[in-house]
Amino acid sequence: MRWTSTNLWIYRAGSCAMSLRSSRGTRELLRALRAAAAAPRPDGPLLLLANGRVGDALLAAAFTRRYRAWFGDVVAFARPETAPVLAAQLDHCVPFGPAHATALAEVAGRGCRAALGDLHLFHGGAALARAAAALDLPLLAYDGWIARRLQAPFRRWPRRTTVVPPFAKDGAGAGPERLHIWHDLLHHHRAALQHFGVAAALPDRPELPWQPDPGIGARLGLPRGYVACHAHSSQPKKDWPFDRFAAVFAACPDVPFALLGGAGAPALPPRPNVVDLRGRTDVRQAIDVAATARAFVGIDSGLAHAAAIARVPTVVAMPQATTGYFFPYPRAFGAHVVTVQSPAHAVCSGCGGICVHEPIWRSRRIGFPCLRAVAADDVVAALRRALA
Q: Is 353 a residue whose pLDDT tops 90?
A: no
- The predicted structure's pLDDT at residue 20: 45
- The residue extents of the domains of the chain are 19-195, 216-387
Q: Kindly report the number of other CB atoms within 10 A of residue 32's CB atom.
A: 17
Query: For residues 87 and 93, is the Cβ–Cβ distance under 8 A?
Result: yes
- In whole angstroms, give the CA distance from residue 243 to residue 102: 43
- The predicted structure's pLDDT at residue 154: 58
pLDDT in tens, 193-216: 999 999 999 999 999 999 999 999
- The predicted structure's pLDDT at residue 15: 58
Q: Is 29 a residue whose pLDDT tops 90?
A: no
- The predicted structure's pLDDT at residue 245: 95
Mean pLDDT throughout 345-366?
80
- Percentage of the residues of the chain whose pLDDT score is greater than 90: 57
Mean pLDDT throughout 350-357?
78
- In whole angstroms, give the CA distance from residue 383 to residue 378: 9
Mean pLDDT throughout 319-332?
89
Does this chain's domain 19-195 share its CATH topology with 216-387? yes
Mean pLDDT throughout 239-243?
92
What architecture (CATH level 2) is domain 19-195? 3-Layer(aba) Sandwich (3.40)
Output 18 or 268, whichever has higher pLDDT.
268
pLDDT in tens, 115-161: 999 998 877 556 787 888 888 899 999 988 887 777 665 567 888 99
CB burial of residue 268 (10 Å; 0-12, 13-18, 19+)? middle
- The predicted structure's pLDDT at residue 323: 85
Amino acid identity of residue 320, one-letter, is Q
pLDDT in tens, 161-179: 999 999 988 765 567 788 8
pLDDT in tens, 218-238: 999 999 999 999 998 888 888
- The predicted structure's pLDDT at residue 1: 53
Average pLDDT value for the chain: 88
Mean pLDDT throughout 96-122?
90
Region 216-387: CATH code: 3.40.50.2000
- The predicted structure's pLDDT at residue 10: 65
